[in-house]
Amino acid sequence: MGRVDGKVALVTGAASGLGEAIARKLHSEGAKVVVADIDADRGRQVADDIGEGAAFVTLDVSSDDSWAEAISATQDVFGELTVLVTSAGISMPTPIDDMDLDLWQKHIDINLKGSMLGCKNALPAMKASGKPSSIVFISSTQASSPMSNHVAYAASKAGVLGMAKAIGKYCAEQGDPIRVNAIQPGAIHTPMLESYLAAMPDREEALAFFGSAHPMNRVGQPDEVAKAVLFLASDDSSFTTGAAVPVDGGLLA
């Protein structure tokens, strides 16, 4: 028996990196999975590769209308929604003394507003399911211990942590069986990290540099984050809400 048998999960950013690993993990443990991403080609490929029990929807997380359509499509295809994972995100350097306001806004719109809109649109669907449900935000260690030139990213991810706490408490106070938590990954080996490595003069040195920020002296793998999401998505975490769970090789310690 799978750990999320009978659940219906929508995973954003599931065309790549962490989102893809999370979608695959939830499906392998029994969930029906909606692969949601703005990148339709790669998203469709991932859903096709997962096979039966997976479907793709195009989603721009920064648009309220796009969210409404994606949630409605999930209900049409799989009957309900009981798990939401918000992994869609962007990360670019934004030093304070040279702040690019468009880039600032993009981080806020995708990373922060995107997670809020997902939650706002998913909650009525989860209530309608009448089943225990779980929302998992992908925040970052940078919400608590940021790199000095990642101002917009750190702000957006710290906002996500605050939302997990506020909305987790709200659902509990309402008596709804919906839990809301956040994961704080350290540096994880995904295409996002690869884009940073590619911009540095020596890729291997750069990888070692990112790894050395963690007491375990390595970067993490997407599957290590997916396993923590699996716990929060499953009923195994039935008394956990409003929590921020580091998956960071000890970085935040």
Ligand X SMILES: NC(=O)c1ccc[n+]([C@@H]2O[C@H](COP(=O)([O-])OP(=O)(O)OC[C@H]3O[C@@H](n4cnc5c(N)ncnc54)[C@H](O)[C@@H]3O)[C@@H](O)[C@H]2O)c1
Residue numbers at the binding site for ligand X (CB under 6 A): 12-13, 15-19, 37-39, 59-62, 87-91, 110, 138, 140, 185, 187-188, 190-193
Q: Is 42 or 165 the residue whose CB approaches ligand X more closely?
A: 42
153 is catalytic: yes
CB of 11 to ligand X, least distance (A): 10
What is the amino acid identity at position 46?
A: V
Q: Is 86 or 234 the residue whose CB approaches ligand X more closely?
A: 86
CB of 18 to ligand X, least distance (A): 4
Q: Is 129 or 210 the residue whose CB approaches ligand X more closely?
A: 210
Q: Kindly give the residue spans of alpha helices, DSSP state H, lying in the chain.
A: 17-28, 40-50, 64-78, 101-107, 114-129, 151-174, 191-198, 203-211, 222-233
Half-sphere exposure at residue 216, Cβ-oriented, CA atoms within 13 angstroms: 14
Q: Is 170 or 196 the residue whose CB approaches ligand X more closely?
A: 196
**Catalytic position from the list 153, 154, 160, 189:** 153
Q: Is 129 or 139 the residue whose CB approaches ligand X more closely?
A: 139
Q: Cα separation of 125 and 81, whole Å?
A: 6
Q: Cα separation of 55 and 62, whole Å?
A: 21
Q: Cα separation of 228 and 236, whole Å?
A: 11
Could you give the dihedral angle defined by the CA atoms of residues 146, 85, 218 and 96, in that order, rounded to the nearest 10 degrees? -20
Q: Cα separation of 55 and 147, whole Å?
A: 36
- 172, with CB counted inside 10 A (0-12, 13-18, 19+), is middle
CB of 229 to ligand X, least distance (A): 11
107: Cα separation from own chain's centroid: 14
CB of 250 to ligand X, least distance (A): 15
Is residue 216 helix, strand or coil? coil
CB of 110 to ligand X, least distance (A): 5
Active site residues: 153
